[in-house]
Structure 1
Amino acid sequence: MPSGTRYWTVLDDGMDLVRPADHWLRHLRFGQHRAELTTKAYAGDVALHLSWCKRTSRDWRVAARDLGLFMVWLKYTPVQADGSVGTVVSGPGAVPVRGERRINRVLTGVRGLLAHAIRMDEVPPWVLGQIYELADTRDLLQEAHTEGAGLGYRLKARHRLQEPESQVDRTSDEAVVAMFRACRNARDRLIVLLLARVGLRRGQVAGLRREDCHLLMDSRALGCDVEGPHLHVVRRQNPNGAWSKSRRSWVMPVDFLVVQAFDQYAVERHERLGAGGSDLLLVNLFRPPLGSPVTPDAIGDLIEALARRADVDEHVAPHRMRHGFASNVADAEGTLDEIQNLLGQSQPTSAQPYLHPSPGRLRAAIERVPTPRELVDEVRR
């Protein structure tokens, strides 16, 4: 856009905008303030559905009545190296090319487009009944009910596959130490600590500005009343596409290791760029364009490269490092509300999926359970 803000959209074979999809994606980016990467994911989902409609001679406005067939097509139809969609591979023993989780995500994008198009009077209202069924709140968990509220109604997706349970695990401290040692410069060491020791998402790391970093014991000279070294995590538009998923801003305390890493990186950056470069904290120092901000994708690529260089056996990713941070706080007897605030979550229960107790803490929990005297005597006999 002329403002410099970017979003992803959908083009047809003639490289023209697909207006309904573009209108929805722009609404997500600018109306709902969603991240650029969110529009990228949804644009790909919508493109798959529109491609299926075209290949099967269906009008996308009313093709929702055949979403079951679309799900089969998604499961067995690969995308070629040039971006085109291949032919359906069907029959007994065919190998699926997309799993349940990926198919459900595509369907989420399709439902979002259709629901928006219904509001814009571009799709018949009856299509809403093809993608959602009306459900009441009686089937929700007790914790999801609002105190004092009566019976409520909600829309429940009609087409959804049962996903296999796969809990995101924590990155081990051993892997973090190995990757830290594999770093070849101060900037990369700081990135590892911001992910593993501060628990930021990669978009939040890439979106940090130098003005957000208050590393003095007394920050009143900076106009800040927060005590001790800390970071201000702020959701804002950034030229590198970095985006904080949390809608609210919060203060993140940091320890002496992170402060030292900041100091070493500040010296390294000044030696390479002087006072120049982007106002964003993390910038390119060793490849052109020098001084340009590091992107969230580049941080993901860096973690993959460090894991390979350090010969780490486990699967490592920025989000797993965030899980490791939350779990380490829990292992150090941090409470759920403390972890919630450190992660920038809105509710204490939002932090629950991030907690993965260490084996030592699980054993300690068992040893704290008192043993009945009678049982001890019986075992000793």
Structure 2
Amino acid sequence: MIRVPSGSRYWSVLDDELQVHPVADRFLREMRFGKDRAESTTKAYASGVALFLRWCGCTGRDWQEAAPFMGLFILWLRHTPADGRQIATGPGANPARGNSRINKVLVAVRGFLSFAVLHREAPAWVLTVIYDVGDERDLPAEVQHENAKLTHRMRAQHHLHEPETAIDRAADEEIVALTVACRSARDRLIVLLLSRAGLRVGEMTGLRRSDLHLLPNNGAFGCAIEGAHLHVVRRPNINGAWAKSRRDRTVPLDFLVVWAIDLYLLERQECPAAAVSDYLLVNLFRAPLGSPVTPGAVNELFSALCTRAGLSRAIAPHMCRHAFGSNLADAGALLDEIQDLLGHRSPESSRPYLHPSAARMRDAVDRVPVPRSLTEGAGR
């Protein structure tokens, strides 16, 4: 992890002499600051690039010309864990990495090699090895651009099959159980911000107190939006929190969330170290007191709450966001409203968050009218 003079951080890659790898470092800095990606994203990409460079070193290959052997790299990833030892292979043996993890590594490596080609650190033919490159001339005329402009497209050549794993929603009963299991007003607020405001963990842990506008008329804040609400703003945060969407959005708050905020602020006043922090959610019960809650701490909290509440399955924070989207749909919200409240770029991104309840599906069937001729026939 590297901290720049502005205070922002990103992750880079070291070589065998513990020196920063120059091309990898430029690639990761460009991701963090040029493309405005999250610090956690650079960490994931740095891990993938480091594995690729390690494999090249172990096999005596020049990383700039190792792209034709990506199949062997995938095999190495599957059977070589992080500590470098070989694991057992054959039927029934557990792989060191699953298909999902390997695909994430391949995404990072493709990005790194593409960056190297673009900046002339690797030969241009590398792209033809890692991508299938084509243009729209081989597409049906119906889907080609009307302006006849030639466009090219690329498809990754190396990608392992991943079974689709849809994220389920947290049931209302499970959310209530989690809320009851909370031992502080802060923890209850965390559960409610996720389940009744639909925030992502990174958005929630990056909230500032100044993002909350809780008055019926917020003109004093210079805000024209009426009613209690909060603003989700993408900005650097010292706790690693990151708002995924580049577009700021406003989320209305219901009375239950406002009530939870009031109780939490009273609890927060009992911790003098929290007074100097503008972050909304801060550590109140363990060191360092007053520092902002990290996204990882929220995951730890939910693991403890699930155990304390005696739930039959583990509830992840993101399942509460799915519950928010589903409850909006059950209450009659339109798809464009759900899209804006969840902060999605398109309506299609919101569809996986909609999990119709059994009662709503039953109502949908019952609303379909029965032809009169069928009812008359049944009567006879």
Interval containing the TM-score (normalised by the shorter chain): over 0.9
The aligned counterpart of 2:76 is 73
TM-score normalized with structure 1 length: 0.92
CA contact (8 A) 2:130 2:158 kept: yes
The aligned counterpart of 2:289 is 290
> SS of the residue aligned with 2:154?
strand
The aligned counterpart of 1:45 is 48
* 1:172 maps to amino acid: A
Give the one of 18, 21, 24 matched to 2:21.
18
The aligned counterpart of 1:251 is 250
Q: Please give the alpha-carbon distance, in whole angstroms, between the structure 2 residues aligned to 1:178 and 1:256.
A: 19
TM-score normalized with structure 2 length: 0.93
Q: Please give the alpha-carbon distance, in whole angstroms, between the structure 1 residues aligned to 2:132 and 2:156.
A: 6
Q: CA deviation at 1:232?
A: 0.6
The aligned counterpart of 1:220 is 219
1:121-163, CA deviations, whole angstroms, 9 ceiling, x for partnerless residues? 11111000011112456999xxxx7985667431111111121
Q: CA deviation at 1:239?
A: 1.2
The aligned counterpart of 1:35 is 38
Q: 1:149 to 1:365 in 2, by over 3 A?
A: farther
Percent same amino acid at aligned positions? Answer: 55
Q: 1:248 to 1:371 in 2, by over 3 A?
A: same
Q: CA deviation at 1:349?
A: 1.8
* 2:62 maps to amino acid: D
> SS of the residue aligned with 1:342?
helix
Q: CA deviation at 1:23?
A: 1.2
> SS of the residue aligned with 1:61?
helix
* 1:20 maps to amino acid: V
The aligned counterpart of 2:110 is 111
Q: Show the 5 A alignment for 1:78-227.
A: 78-79=81-82, 84-136=83-135, 152-227=151-226
Q: Please give the alpha-carbon distance, in whole angstroms, between the structure 1 residues aligned to 2:271 and 2:337.
A: 39
RMSD: 2.1
* 1:26 maps to amino acid: R
Q: Please give the alpha-carbon distance, in whole angstroms, between the structure 2 residues aligned to 1:152 and 1:378.
A: 61
Unaligned runs of 5+ in 1: none
Number of equivalenced pairs: 373
> SS of the residue aligned with 1:345?
coil
Q: 1:27 to 1:257 in 2, by over 3 A?
A: same
Q: CA deviation at 1:314?
A: 2.4
Q: Please give the alpha-carbon distance, in whole angstroms, between the structure 2 residues aligned to 1:167 and 1:379.
A: 41
The aligned counterpart of 1:62 is 65
CA contact (8 A) 1:77 1:89 kept: no
CA contact (8 A) 2:274 2:290 kept: no
